[in-house]
Amino acid sequence: MATSGLQHVAAMYAGVVAPPLIVGAAVGLSGADLTFLTGACLFTAGLATFLQTLGFWKIGARLPFVNGVTFAGVAPMTAIAVSAKDRSDALPMIFGAVIVAGLLGFLAAPFFSKAVRFFPPVVTGSVITLIGVSLLPVAFGWAQGPNPAAHDYGSTTYLTLAGITLLLVLLLRRFTRGFVKQIAVLLGLVLGTLIAIPFGVTDFTPVTKAAVVGFPTPFHFGAPTFHLAAILSMCVVMVVSMTESTADMLALGEIVERPSDEKVIAAGLRADTLGSALSPFFNGFMCSAFAQNIGLVAMTRIRSRFVVAVGGGFLVLMGLCPMAASLIAVVPRPVLGGAGVVLFGSVAASGIQTLVRAGLEKDNNVLIVAVSLAVGIIPITAPGFYHAFPETARIVLDSGISTGCVTAVILNLLFNHLGKGSEAEDVTHPMEAGAELSPAH
């Protein structure tokens, strides 16, 4: 349980620490405060993971979900920081907005969950595939190095390390059994890090400079303040986060063979939103389910929520012990990228497996999948596609998972629910000539 839980932490660590590093830099925090903010986000991610995996009352999906800082909030939080007259007021503004958005989301969770009936396999399969495809560029970015502005970004050294790590994970999965096979990703990260040492890529400085003990003091950066524009901005992020969490719960439900119904989704959304509302008290940001860990569950087939709860325990300890947190920070980005290809690719493969059961012999379903995937990959293939839209709209539009999900739901309603008999139209291939269709058509 310990090693499998640590493997979950290793898979999502970079995603948790990236938002506080970006927002902290925008606010102009000192090195010490930036370390404190990162530790606080690790601590609150652990608490949110407990809420989601263990749960209480009607809170928590009780699925093997890891929760952490959602990347969807980075752009609006940075915008809030830039708009603040005094940068020291930026974090209290952000924290206040997250608290309000979290509480409103908690109240809306049971109503939002009723949308589950609009997620048949043709919709969930499209969304799960998009989740995997949307995450792959993150792995490719990690594989190229830690700093896109550096002259050696994308160098053969970085790409070779990523390739070696990917190969190690594949070999471990192919030629080992039992426990070793289950922790193949963790072993791949450890071996990849050791191999990177002679190349001068592994940096142990974070360990030497980190403190042994540190607690995220409540409201370290000041009491939260409440500004309407900031609250509205974070409420939009909350809607995006809830949409993605719903898709993630549906995806994980398929993988663990326990389909997520309306009650499970409502409980999961309550955990997300309550975790987000509580997070600012300990200087953390909005929390959401981490899609990359779905790939780890799919690949290892370790479906126990208690394993992920152990991972949440590691996150809490890392938040309380900066030195422990820095150990995973030692893993070079290219090594993470090599392992990420397997993890995120597994999510996309799970989506394809769901689409196999979606009835793609039906012409309508083929169109739903085709258009949903096309809309969902726009932010990936054309990042500046929505540049002319307002910043608030881009929060939604730049999330391919959200736009693809909404598109799939709308098209499914249009083609398969509005009107009788339309969903019975079958075709072997969408591009086939009309003369080859059955006489019934």
Can you give the pLDDT of all 441 residues of the chain as single tens digits? 888 888 788 777 766 776 787 687 778 777 667 778 888 888 988 898 898 888 888 888 888 888 888 766 776 787 777 767 777 778 888 899 899 999 998 998 888 877 666 777 888 788 778 877 877 887 888 889 888 888 888 889 999 999 999 999 999 988 887 667 767 777 888 899 899 999 888 877 767 776 777 777 888 888 888 888 778 778 877 877 787 788 778 778 878 877 777 888 888 899 889 989 998 998 888 888 877 677 778 777 778 889 888 888 888 888 887 776 666 667 888 988 898 888 778 778 878 887 887 778 777 889 999 999 999 899 888 888 888 888 667 766 777 777 888 888 889 888 887 765 444 444 334 444 334 444 554
| Domain membership flag for residue 437 | no
Q: 362 - beta bridge partners?
A: 426
Give the Cα separation of 439 and 302 in Å (integer): 49
| Domain membership flag for residue 434 | no
| Domain membership flag for residue 431 | no
Q: Which residues of 145-174 are buried (b: 16+ CB within 10 A; e: fewer)?
A: bbeeeeeeeeeeebbbbbbbbbebbeebbe
What's the full length of the chain, in residues? 441
* Residue 265 neighbours by CB under 8 Å, 6+ apart: 61, 112, 113, 116, 246, 249, 250
Nearest 5 degrees, angle CA 343-CA 345-CA 347? Answer: 80
Give the Cα separation of 285 and 139 in Å (integer): 23
Angle between helical axes of 292-300 and 228-255 (0-180°, round to 10): 10
pLDDT tens, position by position, 230-276:
787 788 778 777 877 887 787 788 788 777 778 888 888 998 899 89
What is the number of structural domains in the chain?
1
Radius of gyration of the chain (CA): 22
For residue 343, what are its two tokens? Answer: 């993890």
For residue 249, what are its two tokens? Answer: 């719960």
Domain that holds residue 166: 2-424
| Domain membership flag for residue 139 | yes
Q: Give the number of other Cβ atoms within 10 Å of residue 342's Cβ.
A: 20
Cβ contact 289:243 at 8 Å: no
| Domain membership flag for residue 430 | no
Q: Which residues of 109-142 are buried (b: 16+ CB within 10 A; e: fewer)?
A: bbebbeebeebbbbbbbbbbbbbbbbbbebbbbb
| Domain membership flag for residue 198 | yes
Q: Give the number of other Cβ atoms within 10 Å of residue 431's Cβ.
A: 6
For residue 395, what are its two tokens? Answer: 């929060």
| Domain membership flag for residue 408 | yes
Give the Cα separation of 190 and 187 in Å (integer): 5
| Domain membership flag for residue 327 | yes
pLDDT tens, position by position, 309-359:
888 888 888 888 777 666 666 788 898 889 888 877 877 887 888 788 777
pTM greater than the 0.75 cutoff = no
